[in-house]
Chains A and B, each alone.
Chain A
Amino acid sequence: MDEPEPALRGLTVLDLSAGVAGSYCGRMLAVYGARVILVEPPSGSPLRAAGPRQPGVDAERGAAFIVNGAGKESVTLDPSTPTGRALLDRLCASADILLDDSHALRAAGITWEGLHASFPRLVVVAVSPFGESGPYAGYEALDGTLYALGGYTYLTGDPHREPIQGPENIPGYMAGANAYIGALAAVVAREQTGKGQLVEVSAMESLAAAHQWTMTRYDYNGRVQTRNNSRYDSLHPVTYYECADGTVAISPSTPDQLERMMLLIEREDMLKDPRFSTNALRIENADEFDAEVAPWFMARTRNEITEACQAYRVPCAPALEVDELLQHEQLRARGFWRAAHDPTAGDLLLPRAPFRMPASPSLDGVAPRLGQDTEAVYNSLGLDADALAGLREAHVI
């Protein structure tokens, strides 16, 4: 049987991203076959230098760029110059999707209306912290800003201490995942309408929309959820426990699962204890409940606990450090980590796509060197060596 064609072959994406949001969107389109061309300023995308880097090696290859640049081409272009702008137009003429997560288009004086008039089939994806309108549209955002305004920080941490924010870059990935599905939806819509459109994604709204029920419950009955360390809000003991070598997450969410957990730890007696006999009581007396079960957990390792719980069909998992994901039995068995050779960082294990499509191969290259495809791409637009030399001279590319 012939190898099937990648699902998104034929789509061309111009990726002007400066952060993880747009870059993740571009990578997700690339992994199933879209041609994604990073369009970088001559100094390189700011993402190249962000996050952890190999000491003393190439400062242009941080981890976030290595992961999210995988499989893309790179050309350089300064869209704020007239010749750069003309070049961008020529690229747009044969592109399907244009990605911007840093108001790069606005900074270059390019509007959606103008692009739409010139390139009616082009889908433009604009990701930003707060969207294009509203009182915060011009506000500065770090991850901490978005975690705070999105309602996450308040819910995270110790009720007797200051709340804490989540890990770096996650707000960008949340917005990036929405940008990705918004871009695809616009491509599907174009099949019917023949027209491209503007897809606008706000990171703050991406976070606010992802709550399970925090805001809905507030609207239904005025309940304001508070932070409670690692305890789940509405069921106990759905929580984390410290153990001999770290932390485990346990999630007995049905009466059967709870009974099996208590059987496993040989504390069925606790379910008859008047302090713990209902979920409401277990939530109210959670500190006492946890003190009773703590010795069982502290006497065992993460792996012993997880295996015992799974044998009893009780959802449980170790809290893994990020490097432990590389040894994870299931991730390895399914080939989630693929071996890749980065041009400067060397041999690395990089992630595959978050889902498998049997009818489409997934394509996974490595992240490009800055401008590595400039000549090839611009030659294909009909620019010869002299023209390119002129553009270099003028710092347009």
Chain B
Amino acid sequence: MTALPPLQGVRVLDLTRVWSGPLAARILADFGAEVIKVEHAAARGPATIPGPASDRASFYPDNDPGPDPYNRSAAFNKLNRSKLSLTLDLAKPSGHQAFCDLAASSDVVLENYSPRVMGNLGIGFDTLSGLNDGIIFVSMPGYGLDGPMRDSVAYGSTLDAECGIASLMGYEGGAAQRLGVALPDPVAGMHAVGAILTAVIQRQKTGKGQHIDLSQLESMACFVADEVVGFQLTGQRPVRRGNRHRWMAPHGVYPCREPDTWVFVGVATDAQWIALASVLGQPQLADDQRFATIMARHQHQDDLDPLIESWTRTRTPMGAMNGLQAASVPAGAVHSAAGVHSDPHLRERGFFVRLTHPSAGTHDYPGQPIRFSETATVFRSDAPLLGQHNRAILGGLLGYPDERIRQLEAEGIIADRPPV
């Protein structure tokens, strides 16, 4: 692995907050881009946390907010590794000027504000492309840049209901259910990276940037579009059926030995069924007419579940999974955070990356699910401290003299701690 990372030499200005946009910019950093997080000094929260840490549901190392909680959040640090931090007050003229100076020498600007904000700050696409016609500008608001709902407010935690995913899941006969991991944000983040890379490829031919309009609702709707088309083909709404499947059986989440431990077991083929019967120690089931075909097993799945449960009840999730998988039966331990974190497969593959942060300490973070055979994935550093690179960027990159940087500090345009 000797080649430079794919996005070596690409400079990204990350104006995004919360989840979707920071993730997109972080993936670009993983691919080797130089990502500058341009943030307001107050963006990561207040200088001190009022009240007990538990009131913030505890995102801090050992539940300790410390003297600089804005640098110590597990949520922020996960999504911002390998980036540089520049604090700027964009609403002030000298902050605006510094941003424009940076944009003139950058390749990508990424923002996830509501549609009017960038224009109101005087840093919309038209302004920036006037300074740099190669700029790739990505807006990723909830509903897109136009249409009657462009100004409606949305988070991933409302879009997961609106895009139809929630209605596809739930207990049999029960209400729509939220998936434990809200997908609209990470999915919009991945699609934003796809959009940027597509625009980078086009720019190699045309020299020109463009303004990409990514609606987080549409992004997520792409993942349920086959169900929408399925409705058009059949005229039937999908039914909520817990862990059961349209046609496979058995197909369920079965209890294991300790409280609240579980294993998923599913059977797609006759061969897997025969193997399962054997692992259960009941090979005669393979000859039972109730279970002889896919359709028969589906019809009699109420009879199947207790047979499997009586076997899983005496086992651990990992023990059950490994035993079933040894016979090629699709099974999976139901991992909690602790299970994923210590999963032997992920550990052996080196999925987690260990990074050291000057305030938050050394931690393992989920790594990059995309691996390249010839180019390195970049895990340059943990997330930056607030304003850590103010001087390096303004002085080093833009060549501002010391005096001007001190002036910006004095005016509160840049800072390395939140305003009190």
Is A3 engaged at the interface, CB distance under 8 Å to the other chain? no
Is A229 engaged at the interface, CB distance under 8 Å to the other chain? yes
Please report which residues of chain A, range 166-193, place their CB below 8 angstroms from some CB of chain B when the two chains form the complex.
166-170, 173-175, 177-182, 184-189, 191-193
For B8, the closest partner residue in chain A by CB is A192
Instruction: Give the size of the chain B interface in residues (CB under 8 angstroms).
Output: 159
B198 touches A360 (CB 8 A): yes
Partner of A177, one of B75, B190, B335: B190
Residues in B neighbouring A274, C-beta threshold 8 A: none
A223 and B170 in contact, given A210-B183, A211-B366, A317-B158 (Cβ under 8 angstroms): no
Is A205 engaged at the interface, CB distance under 8 Å to the other chain? yes
Residues in B neighbouring A177, C-beta threshold 8 A: 187, 190-191, 194
Is A105 engaged at the interface, CB distance under 8 Å to the other chain? no
A164 touches B341 (CB 8 A): no
Is A392 engaged at the interface, CB distance under 8 Å to the other chain? no
A249 touches B59 (CB 8 A): no
B214 touches A181 (CB 8 A): no
Is A154 engaged at the interface, CB distance under 8 Å to the other chain? yes
Partner of B229, one of A66, A174, A185: A66
B181 touches A322 (CB 8 A): no
Partner of B176, one of A231, A246, A356, A357: A246
Is A114 engaged at the interface, CB distance under 8 Å to the other chain? no
Is B292 engaged at the interface, CB distance under 8 Å to the other chain? no
Partner of A140, one of B236, B325, B339, B365: B325
In this complex, which of B155, B198, B202, B248 has the most chain A Cβ atoms within 10 angstroms of its Cβ? B198
B171 touches A278 (CB 8 A): no
A55 touches B234 (CB 8 A): yes
Is B289 engaged at the interface, CB distance under 8 Å to the other chain? no
Partner of A7, one of B187, B201, B372: B201
Residues in B neighbouring A249, C-beta threshold 8 A: 157-158, 160-162, 166, 178
B228 touches A322 (CB 8 A): yes
Please report which residues of chain A, range 1-18, place their CB below 8 angstroms from some CB of chain B when the two chains form the complex.
4-5, 7-8
CB distance from A280 to the nearest CB of B (A): 4
Is B204 engaged at the interface, CB distance under 8 Å to the other chain? yes
Is B120 engaged at the interface, CB distance under 8 Å to the other chain? no
Is B102 engaged at the interface, CB distance under 8 Å to the other chain? no
Residues in A neighbouring B183, C-beta threshold 8 A: 170, 174, 210
A330 and B147 in contact, given A63-B229, A198-B372, A210-B183 (Cβ under 8 angstroms): yes
Is A320 engaged at the interface, CB distance under 8 Å to the other chain? yes
Is B295 engaged at the interface, CB distance under 8 Å to the other chain? no
CB distance from B64 to the nearest CB of A (A): 8
CB distance from B221 to the nearest CB of A (A): 6
CB distance from A189 to the nearest CB of B (A): 4
CB distance from A351 to the nearest CB of B (A): 4
CB distance from A112 to the nearest CB of B (A): 7
Residues in B neighbouring A320, C-beta threshold 8 A: 161-164, 167
For A210, the closest partner residue in chain B by CB is B186
List 13 A-B pairs, Cβ < 8 Å: A53-B233, A142-B266, A149-B345, A151-B335, A155-B181, A164-B177, A168-B245, A170-B183, A175-B369, A212-B182, A240-B178, A249-B162, A317-B161
Instruction: Give the size of the chain A interface in residues (CB under 8 angstroms).
Output: 160
Residues in B neighbouring A54, C-beta threshold 8 A: 233-234
Is A145 engaged at the interface, CB distance under 8 Å to the other chain? yes
Residues in A neighbouring B204, C-beta threshold 8 A: 191
Partner of A220, one of B74, B162, B192, B369: B74
With A193-B374, A249-B161, A336-B215 given, name 9 new contacts (CB 8 A).
A144-B264, A145-B330, A164-B243, A188-B197, A193-B3, A278-B51, A313-B153, A320-B164, A357-B199
B349 touches A330 (CB 8 A): no
Please report which residues of chain B, range 185-223, place their CB below 8 angstroms from some CB of chain A when the two chains form the complex.
185-188, 190-195, 197-202, 204-206, 208, 210-215, 217-219, 221-223
Residues in B neighbouring A174, C-beta threshold 8 A: 183, 187, 190
A321 and B340 in contact, given A142-B266, A156-B180, A326-B228 (Cβ under 8 angstroms): no
B57 touches A234 (CB 8 A): yes
In whole angstroms, how far apart are the Cα atoms of A13 and B218 in the complex? Answer: 25
Residues in A neighbouring B243, C-beta threshold 8 A: 144, 162, 164-165
B4 touches A192 (CB 8 A): yes
Residues in A neighbouring B62, C-beta threshold 8 A: 220-221
Is B12 engaged at the interface, CB distance under 8 Å to the other chain? no
A247 touches B175 (CB 8 A): yes
B218 touches A336 (CB 8 A): yes
Instruction: Write out, one digit per residue, whether chain B residues 214-256 have a CB within 8 A of any chain A CB (1) or not (0).
Output: 1101110111111111111110111000110110100111110
B349 touches A134 (CB 8 A): yes
Partner of B197, one of A154, A184, A334: A184
Please report which residues of chain B, range 359-404, place their CB below 8 angstroms from some CB of chain A when the two chains form the complex.
360, 363-375
